[in-house]
Amino acid sequence: MRTRDPQRQQGAGWLFVSPAILVLGVFLVAPIGMALWVSLSDWSGSGSPISRDVNFIGTENYNALLADPGLARQDLMISFRNTFYYVLGVVPLQTILALSLAVLLNNRFLKGRTFFRTAFYFPSVVSSVAISLLFLFLFAGSGAINNVLGWFGVNGPNWFQDSRGLIHIFGDAVGLWSLAAPPSWMTEPSVMGLSFWEWFSGPSVALSAIMMQVIWTTAGTFMLLFLAGLQDLPVEVEEAAMVDGANKWQRFMNVTVPHLRPTILLVVTLGFIGTWQVFDQMYVMTQGGPAKTTLTPAYLSYQAAFTNGDWGQGAAIAFILFAIIFILTTTQRWLMRDKDVSAQKRADRGVRRRQRSRRTRAIVEETQRKAQSS
């Protein structure tokens, strides 16, 4: 019975997983390792990054991006600012929109459910480049959006050319400050190379147009996740809530949302990661403009490497972005954790630990007794 031989099976096991390990290694581990090396080297983009001409320069690339005052740090901070406002706008809105759509479409008495599901999911299937090009035309200065706004007497902006920040515009409208001459208490103090005025600009009009596009596109994908979660919700629970006299809103807040908690956590996490990494839209539509207000870390990384030939900085930006996403999603998962469940887990662990120590004590006493008796 050679096949039953445990040693043989062990070898076969490794043999079976080796293609996967090889593929993951070549396409995942090795490139990440190379990128890490490039971010610590002065590689100029010609020849192999591990040839003898390439020198280790420590954290110089990271210093240029995070510590030394200069253009590299300024651009990275601008991209952080833009992405911060972008995430702040996109993640809550796309989650709420997706949840609302899912709840609407989960209604058993809705006619044409399949049609609507397909319709709302459709943008997620279409390539983001195609959608971006479409939105370029929709939001052009004399495009469809501005024409529709015109019916209501609104003179729409030239969306993708407009670098004014929304907070700036709002402050200007309520008379807090003037856009043309920002007050010195805003322009004087500066943090990391950007003045308060620049930090608190809000998303620019151009970035807002991209945000609208992204919310519209991704809501369908996340709607699908919510729909799957809703299918798991037993009808009896809802009926029980109905019998208890809960109205629609109460049922939604106290039955549906708690039930969907894991899905919401997943959607928000995916949303965070996706929005911090946003690249396609900037590459196709704005190339970081107008006035750098749609510059994002992912696009900046691409630009640093392929346009400026600064490969080390490009790789360093990618790792800084990774660190940010990692820290933010970890924090977010910790903040949104189910407090009852984690309290329960902690309690369980405590019980187990006590049991274990009791058992150990018993064993120790047993051995001692045996030792004494012999």
Distance between CA atoms of residues 204 and 50, nearest Å: 41
Which one of residues 310, 312, 315, 321 is an interface residue with other proteins (CB under 8 A)?
310
Q: Is 155 in the site for other proteins (CB under 8 A)?
A: no
DSSP string, 347-373: HHHHHHHHHHHHHHHHHHHHHHHHHHH
Restricting to residues 208-237, name those near other proteins by CB under 8 A.
none
* Nearer CB in complex with other proteins: 10/360: 10
* Nearer CB in complex with other proteins: 123/289: 289
Structure-token pair, residue 16: 């079976």
Structure-token pair, residue 223: 């709607």
Distance between CA atoms of residues 14 and 24, nearest Å: 15
* Nearer CB in complex with other proteins: 187/355: 187
Other beta carbons within 10 angstroms of residue 330's beta carbon come to 11
DSSP string, 99-130: HHHHHHHT-TT-TTHHHHHHHHHHHHHS-HHH
- Smallest distance, Å, CB 17 to other proteins? 10
- Smallest distance, Å, CB 193 to other proteins? 11
Considering only the stretches 266-274, 289-297, 316-324, 350-358, report the one whose residues sit in contact with other proteins under the rule CB under 8 A. Answer: 289-297
DSSP conformational letter for 41: B
* Nearer CB in complex with other proteins: 49/274: 49
Which one of residues 308, 330, 342, 344 is an interface residue with other proteins (CB under 8 A)?
308
Structure-token pair, residue 358: 């009791």
Site string for other proteins, 20-59 (x = CB under 8 A): -xx--xx--xx--xx---------xxxxxxxxxx------
Q: How many residues of this chain interact with other proteins, rule: CB under 8 A?
A: 49
The verdict on whether omega for the bond into residue 290 sits within 30 degrees of 0, i.e. cis, is yes
- Smallest distance, Å, CB 11 to other proteins? 6
Which one of residues 122, 170, 306, 326 is an interface residue with other proteins (CB under 8 A)?
306
* Nearer CB in complex with other proteins: 157/220: 157
| Alpha helices (H) along the chain | 6-24, 30-39, 60-66, 71-105, 113-125, 128-138, 144-151, 166-173, 184-187, 196-199, 205-231, 235-243, 248-251, 257-259, 261-276, 280-281, 297-302, 311-335, 339-373
Closest CA to 272 of 324, 210, 208, 334: 324
Site string for other proteins, 60-99 (x = CB under 8 A): ----------xxx-xx------------------------
Which one of residues 124, 158, 195, 277 is an interface residue with other proteins (CB under 8 A)?
158
Secondary structure of residue 152 in the 3-state scheme: coil
* Nearer CB in complex with other proteins: 46/367: 46
Which one of residues 58, 141, 189, 258 is an interface residue with other proteins (CB under 8 A)?
141
Residues that bind other proteins (CB under 8 A): 6-7, 10-11, 14, 18, 21-22, 25-26, 29-30, 33-34, 44-53, 70-72, 74-75, 140-142, 158, 161-163, 180, 289-292, 303-310
